[in-house]
Amino acid sequence: MSSFGIFDIAGSALAAQSVRLNAVASNLANAGSVTGDPNTVFKPKEPVFEAIAVSDGQSLPGVRVREIADNTAAPLKRYEPGHPLADPEGYIYAPPVDAVEQMVNMISAARSYQANVEVMTTARDLTLRTIGAMSR
């Protein structure tokens, strides 16, 4: 593996955390949506990461998003008979989005993203120093 592989590894982590941040943004944006049918309620998205295995000697390790899974929790059922979207029994359904949990997830993803930016910055600085030392 060349010394430039660190950029590919950190880059794959940046891409994965970007997907995670987008999923959190989507979940928070749809947290207040309601419907009269529990089957059509928004399902929060959760990215599932996996490590990239290296067995051929040609590819580099890293991380990728294997899938973006739907949260399988039951929708929140609220009795609001005056709501225009209420079903015949007076219930509306909201997505099971916990805003506090989503904010914690967002902070964690942002910190992971920033850590990988720091890895790339440090690797760049070390590479430039090495090149500078070799040219003397």
Residue 10, in any domain of the structure: yes
pTM (2 decimals)?
Answer: 0.85
Would you say residue 92 lies in a domain?
no
Per the domain annotation, does 90 fall within a domain? Answer: no
- Is residue 17 in some structural domain? yes
Residue 86 lies in a domain: no
Q: Side-chain half-sphere of 67: how many Cα atoms within 13 Å? A: 3
Closest listed residue to residue 66, CA positions, set 52, 87, 83, 82: 52
Q: State the total domains in the chain.
A: 1
Answer yes or no: are the C-beta atoms of 73 and 43 closer than 8 Å.
Answer: no
User: 73 is written with which tokens?
Assistant: 């929790």
The answer to whether position 78 is within a domain reads no
pLDDT digit string, tens, across residues 81-96: 999 999 999 999 999 9
Q: What is the per-residue pLDDT across 12-30, written as a single tens digit (0 to 9) for each?
A: 999 999 999 999 999 999 9
Residue 39, in any domain of the structure? no
According to DSSP, residue 84 is labeled T
With 70 as the cut, is the pLDDT of residue 3 above it? no
Query: 18: domain range?
Result: 5-32+44-70+100-134
